[in-house]
Structure 1
Amino acid sequence: MDGISKNNAAETSRSGFLTKSRAAVSLLFLVNGFAVGSWAPKIPEFAERLQLSKFELGLMILVFGLGSLLMMPLAGAQITGRGSKVVCKVMAVLLLPMLLILTVVQNVWTAAPAIFLFGGFIGAMDVAMNANAVAVEKSMRRAIMSSCHAFWSLGGLIGSAIGGYLISHWGVLGHAEVATVLSIVFLVIAWPMILSDQPHPDEEKPKAKLPMIPLPWLLGMMALFCMIPEGAVLDWGALYLRQDLSASVTLSGLGFAAFSLTMATMRFAGDFVRDKLGAVMTLRVCTAFAITGMVLASLAPNAELAILGFAFCGIGISNMVPIAFSAAGNVPGLQPGIGISVVTTMGYSGMLVAPSAIGFAAEHVGFSAVFLALPMLLLVVLCFSSLARYADSIGGGGH
């Protein structure tokens, strides 16, 4: 038994492609991505208000990441005992006021715990909504994880796109108020439709502990090695185009745009591709695209070719992490919340540590050499790609 109620299973099996539970979990991803996207344009004003140097701002962003990393395993433990629906709702409600709080804090001593909690609620909700997506996949007997991550990307795109406009016209407080109201609206729509995956009363609730089998850790390593190149493109792509390839300010911004556009597009198409090709072949094809794109970007003689390389990276990386999450939620003999918390924590630790490490390395050898080295990580993912077969267990609970 996977803990999904009979009523929810009947609802999803009747409805086929689009179900209430699928719409709800997609909205949860949208809300989470929207919160992150809304925070990004607030960072310059946040640093100015608190009079933070670049180093001090870096420490604040590190505190955000530490909050996520500490809360993710705790969320996994709570999901095991209470189900992802409860954890999703609690974390989403706790997340709602955080943008407003970060807008009104006036000193480091109040800002640090606020940004720690903001990162923690983002991370915990991330684990819970991925676990809920696995439950919806099982109930529907079809892949939906890639499209869920596409909604996260869409939420981030909406949040960052309207954020700058709202801040410039309505101020930081007005922006925070609008973003909070929109998040509440999304959450209210999703609230009654979230899939319940509560454990059955007669089932013994497993003790929350780190898994002793290697599979979730290997999947976590795969997610880590996928997300380091993603973080490299997001954090350093524009600087590489600007400094190493002499691109204009406008052109250097197109590297991230090309990457994020192909990533979001392919995430919406990813579930269809997975259903047709299977998770293993999809992962292998995506990895090949990502390696090709990273090599092309690193060896490009001009900015235009490097941007094309980043677009290929977006195509490839788009569905690699969603497949790892699906596989982690279907590890035989392991509760989905625990498996997903391991993979999420390991994956996002790459996003936390990699930017500073890449910046340090680039100071000594240049961005081109760093980007050329990153495909080595993706080759490791390719070597372990057969583990993606567990992502194809969405209909039957494992091998």
Structure 2
Amino acid sequence: MDMIEPSLTTPSRAPIVTRERAAVALMFLMNGFLIGAWAPKIPEFAARLSLSESALGLMILVFGVGSIVMMPIGGIQIARFGSTWVTRITALLVLPTLLLLSLVGSVWTGAIAIFLFGGLIGAMDVAMNANAVVTEKQMRRSIMSSCHAFWSLGGLLGSASGGVLIAWLGVVGHGLLVSGLAAVIVIIAWPMLVADKPHPEEAKQKVRLPMTPLPWLIGLVALFSMIPEGAVLDWGALYFRNELGASVELSGLAFGAFSLTMATMRFAGDLVRDRFGAVNTLRFCTVMSIIGLATAGMANGPVMAMIGFAIAGIGISNMVPIAFSAAGNLPGMAQGIGLSVVTTMGYSGILVAPSAIGFIAEHTGLAAIFLGLPVLHLVVLLLSGLARHADRAPGPH
């Protein structure tokens, strides 16, 4: 007789930290660390290949295209082999790509290297999010937000240390050290990842993209959550400096205030979600983000805008993790397929937003942009009931 299993929001006696939770958190840390380490290498990469600003922009676009191409492929492989093995293999494959980017000497080899880097980072992203969902189910606890917090922490460590390490060890030395450290993380996490196996009888269903609207609607939630995030990250400092008259030093606090509250709330987000449920948490976060973005857009000076961005960080922090958990728990659908749809749609927003916002801002100014972004969040509020799937218990197998 099948037993009815509790939802993720049901109180659990399971330990808060397990080997499986530590392992998937380490994979998030490693992925973010590689992304963060890449950021300080970009100026040297552009100089080595004699890239103009527009050519560098195209190279960065190739990174995004690689992610969008490889994310659905990663989802199909998860359906066939399970998230554990896809996480492990993509982690192994991505390890040498940062070093490859340190060695390439022509535009074409650079384009191939950055495509592979972006693609494997994206495929690993889908796999480790899927593995986090499996771990959530096993633990009967929400862990997605803290996993994303570890990704943010990895990005911070990689970017903050990159400049110093490049100056000390050189570009290739930096690539070797970062790749070595990332490899150590993979070795530690490898045996501890939760073991999940696909169901062979569902294989044919799993390799098809979903024809039902549910994953696409949750993808819309992820997309409209990540566009404002990208806007703050890419345009916040420029808004401070050009439209609010802030100094160069103060302009950096636009991102600092936002990222600090976002990282803090991601570590707290799992406890909040387990206490109040995913739907209520998403609605609270969305309202906070609307208030924060509107405050920043109406700011009459840097301090008011900084407060606005800090409030927006509180809100945006847990919107995407909830969408990813919901995608991994959709009824009657392979986990990898649902997640690949939602992650691809979500990260497309990060790629599209910078250029689109730049074009609009030339005619309206950035204050109008930040005042307009809450309209996207109104759509998220309308669709927030879909977050109930983030609390859905796995059915009997």
After TM superposition, list the pairs within 5 Å mapping 1:51-90 onto structure 2: 51-90=50-89
Deviations 1:46-88 (A, max 9, x none): 1111111111000000000000000000000010010011111
**Aligned 8 A contact 2:80 2:203 in 1:** no
Residue in 2 that maps onto 1:5: none
Distance 2:248 2:388 in 1: 43
How many Å apart are 1:396 and its aligned residue? 3.4
TM-score normalised according to structure 1 size: 0.94
Residue in 2 that maps onto 1:153: 152
Query: What's the secondary structure of 1:142's corresponding residue?
Result: coil
**Aligned 8 A contact 2:40 2:162 in 1:** yes
Query: What's the secondary structure of 1:301's corresponding residue?
Result: coil
Residue in 2 that maps onto 1:396: 394
Would the alpha carbon gap of residues 203 and 77 (structure 1) be closer, same or farther in structure 2, given more than 3 Å must change? Answer: closer
**Aligned 8 A contact 1:25 1:148 in 2:** yes
Residue in 1 that maps onto 2:117: 118
Residue in 1 that maps onto 2:218: 219
Residue in 2 that maps onto 1:333: 332
Residue in 2 that maps onto 1:6: none
Residue in 2 that maps onto 1:30: 29
How many Å apart are 1:206 and its aligned residue? 2.8
Residue in 2 that maps onto 1:103: 102
How many Å apart are 1:15 and its aligned residue? 5.3
Distance 1:317 1:143 in 2: 17
**Aligned 8 A contact 1:138 1:397 in 2:** no
What residue ranges of structure 1 are gaps of 5+ in the alignment?
1-12
Q: Which amino acid aligns with 2:112?
A: P
How many Å apart are 1:211 and its aligned residue? 0.3
Question: What RMSD, in angstroms, separates the aligned Cα atoms of the two structures?
Answer: 1.3
Q: Which amino acid aligns with 1:39?
A: W
Structure 1 vs Structure 2: percent identity of aligned residues?
66
Distance 1:206 1:363 in 2: 47
How many Å apart are 1:14 and its aligned residue? 8.2
Would the alpha carbon gap of residues 201 and 358 (structure 1) be closer, same or farther in structure 2, given more than 3 Å must change? Answer: closer
The number of residue pairs the alignment matches comes to 385
Query: What's the secondary structure of 1:197's corresponding residue?
Result: coil
**Aligned 8 A contact 2:292 2:309 in 1:** yes
How many Å apart are 1:92 and its aligned residue? 0.4
Residue in 2 that maps onto 1:345: 344
Deviations 1:20-48 (A, max 9, x none): 11111000100110110000111111111
Residue in 1 that maps onto 2:9: none
**Aligned 8 A contact 2:225 2:316 in 1:** yes
Residue in 2 that maps onto 1:3: none
Distance 1:157 1:254 in 2: 15
Distance 2:332 2:68 in 1: 24
Deviations 1:73-130 (A, max 9, x none): 0000010010011111111001101111001111101000100000000000000000
How many Å apart are 1:195 and its aligned residue? 1.1
Moved more, 172-181 or 211-220: 172-181
Distance 2:98 2:32 in 1: 13
**Aligned 8 A contact 1:273 1:282 in 2:** yes
**Aligned 8 A contact 1:80 1:206 in 2:** no
Residue in 1 that maps onto 2:295: 296
Show structure 1 runs of 4+ deviating over 3 A: 200-205, 395-398
Q: Which amino acid aligns with 1:160?
A: S
Deviations 1:147-167 (A, max 9, x none): 000010000011001111111
Distance 2:42 2:249 in 1: 21
Would the alpha carbon gap of residues 46 and 353 (structure 1) be closer, same or farther in structure 2, given more than 3 Å must change? Answer: same
How many Å apart are 1:376 and its aligned residue? 0.1
Q: Does 1:189 align with 2:207?
A: no
Moved more, 173-182 or 321-330: 173-182
What residue ranges of structure 2 are gaps of 5+ in the alignment?
1-11
How many Å apart are 1:323 and its aligned residue? 0.2
**Aligned 8 A contact 2:206 2:333 in 1:** no
Residue in 1 that maps onto 2:5: none
**Aligned 8 A contact 2:206 2:334 in 1:** no
Would the alpha carbon gap of residues 310 and 212 (structure 1) be closer, same or farther in structure 2, given more than 3 Å must change? Answer: same
Distance 1:370 1:203 in 2: 45
Residue in 1 that maps onto 2:315: 316
Moved more, 183-192 or 206-215: 206-215
Distance 2:231 2:273 in 1: 26
Would the alpha carbon gap of residues 347 and 201 (structure 1) be closer, same or farther in structure 2, given more than 3 Å must change? Answer: closer
After TM superposition, list the pairs within 5 Å mapping 1:350-389 onto structure 2: 350-389=349-388
